[in-house]
Amino acid sequence: MSDDMINIIGIGFLSLLFWYIQIYRPKLKLKMQGELQLKSALITDIRTRYRAIHTVFYKSF
């Protein structure tokens, strides 16, 4: 095999890997094709810390 053929095969493999990771696999994780995934912006532990700090320092001003 020549170097050009190896490069073409490598680029093809990388493009298939990118397609699988970025497009195909996330679609499998969805229950329905048109469904969007909703994720909470903050984890509940971080949210409670934020609220506690906010109430303590907000009262001081």
For position 37, what pLDDT does the model report? 63
Q: Mean pLDDT highest for which of 9-18, 26-35, 46-55?
A: 9-18
Split at pLDDT 50, 70, 90, the class of 17 is very high
Higher pLDDT, 10 or 59: 10
Higher pLDDT, 30 or 9: 9
Residue 27 confidence (pLDDT) above 80: no
For position 32, what pLDDT does the model report? 65
> Cα dihedral angle (41, 44, 50, 52), rounded to 10 degrees?
160
Domain region containing 7 = 3-60
**Total domain count for the chain?**
1
